[in-house]
Structure 1
Amino acid sequence: MTQVVVLPHGELCPDGAVLEVEAGESICDALLDNGIDIEHACEKSCACTTCHVIVREGFRSLEAADDLEEDMLDKAWGLEPNSRLSCQAIVADTPLVVEIPRYTINHASEGGKH
């Protein structure tokens, strides 16, 4: 099991959380499985940016984002160099510290282009 620390988020996880996650699971699934209701408007198909997270520690342990994820990330609110779509970022054996941004751009519900 890999430790994933979730930094406090005012609505989704006010006190933060420490999760034990199986390697091979996406960050999105790990959050959802532990009661942290991160948005995932496209049902984890890499077609929106609502599950955008910032990986504060352990970023290099993740497989590199593919071109589709990189294209989608360009549309994310608050993009940083260590941003990932949590539905595409697969936990490895290295502990992670993850921040859920305060805002998302919900392309699915706002009618934005994918």
Structure 2
Amino acid sequence: MPTIQILPHAALCPDGKTIDAAPGTSVCEALLENGIEIEHACDMSCACTTCHVIVRQGYASLNEMDETEEDLLDRAWGLEADSRLSCQAIVARADLVVEIPRYTINHARENH
């Protein structure tokens, strides 16, 4: 079973963590199932950017990004070349290293 190494995040995972993830599950589902409360304001329907992650290792093993995800990522805080929406990034058989950005844009929570 592949693993996902989550790099330290001050609020969500201060010490970092390595978790097992079943192939076919999204990165977001794997994080939530293992107690890492990543935001997912749209309930994983690819309608926001709150679950944005940066894939530091294993990016090429993930499923291909569709146009909706690409368009949404343009609005994500801290966008990098290896950014994905974790609700859309499906785990294959390779291990991953992900970083959860320090900030996220959540218009609902921020009363926009």
- TM-score normalised by L of structure 2: 0.96
2:47 is aligned to 47
**SS in structure 2 at match of 1:109:** coil
Contact 1:48–1:108 under 8 Å retained in 2: no
What letter is aligned with 1:54? Answer: I
Contact 1:42–1:108 under 8 Å retained in 2: no
CA deviation string 1:17-58 (max 9, x = no partner): 000110000000000000000000000000000000000000
What is the number of residues matched between the two proteins?
112
Q: Distance in 2 between matches of 1:45 and 1:61?
A: 22
Runs of 4 or more, structure 1, over 4 Å off, are none
Q: Distance in 1 between matches of 2:111 and 2:45?
A: 17
1:33 is aligned to 33
Contact 1:48–1:107 under 8 Å retained in 2: no
Q: Give the superposition deviation at 1:64.
A: 1.4
> Matches of residues 1-40 of structure 1 in structure 2 within 5 Å?
1-40=1-40
User: Do the aligned partners of residues 108 and 66 (structure 1) sit closer, same or farther apart at CA in structure 2, a change above 3 Å counting?
Assistant: farther
**SS in structure 2 at match of 1:31:** helix
**SS in structure 2 at match of 1:4:** strand
Gap runs ≥5 in structure 1: none
Range with bigger deviation, 101-110 or 44-53: 101-110
What letter is aligned with 1:92? Answer: A
Q: Distance in 1 between matches of 2:108 and 2:88?
A: 18
Q: Distance in 2 between matches of 1:68 and 1:90?
A: 15
**SS in structure 1 at match of 2:108:** helix
